[in-house]
Structure 1
């Protein structure tokens, strides 16, 4: 096999993993079966929380799947080994973009000011603008739909109005205290 075949397999796998991640995020993580792990990702964290959250178990599951494909591919069918490489590359990109750039889980902070990384950052922040698992937008990790469309979707769903109303109702402007 020439180098072109493995490179194409890796690239195709990285692209396919974005679809797998989107589907897993939307229908498993935000569904009744997976919310138990993923909910920790949508909660506010304090300094006592530590560096890990229950949601990180999803990364462990995908890592185990990738290791299994490495084993099967090296023993029986080499293309599976290259698919495992693509899964691992996607995992590294996910760690850099999602955990690092978007959620600032690195020891340093960087908020992109323009370009695609800014759009990706904003789209994921809009995903977290919703409390709970329902009515969220933007379920991809490396692809971000246009931010204006996501804002329109949130406005159309009414979830932002409900959130603003809840915050307004929980605040007494006369005493500046929570009710």
Structure 2
């Protein structure tokens, strides 16, 4: 099984097979418009523009599972991302990325690359871990998505090769993206 075996819904509600991205290096991100990490959208777009011709494709999947930080509907999300951060990479239909109703795509991603912990040298990590432990302690167990802006790098053959947690800034992934390209 590879990433190409999955179908997802576009923000307009159409079904899209991920096999349409065969041969691309994918960066799959769970997003939210009202999160402290939302400004990462700007640098994700810069990475998209910088490496698009070499085969990078970023795919955004909004989720409202983390402190209800994605209150917008699908069309509003796409518009917000475009108007505020210049995003032109695909933003798909809002989904669940963890727990019993999680998208099969995100279950697959987290099975391929387990949670390795947060980089506690990042200035936001201690605060984020504190919030999760206080308000959502069950989020820390297992390999599931812990918060918005978890990122997965998928090679050109559809294999998941890297996982980056919320606190990993987009440009901190650039070297790994360049190597994978």
TM-score when normalising by structure 1: 0.26
For the pair shown, the structure with the greater C-alpha radius of gyration is: 1
TM-score when normalising by structure 2: 0.26
Q: Which has the higher strand share?
A: 2
The structure, 1 or 2, with the larger RCO (C-alpha pairs under 8 Å, 6+ apart) is 2
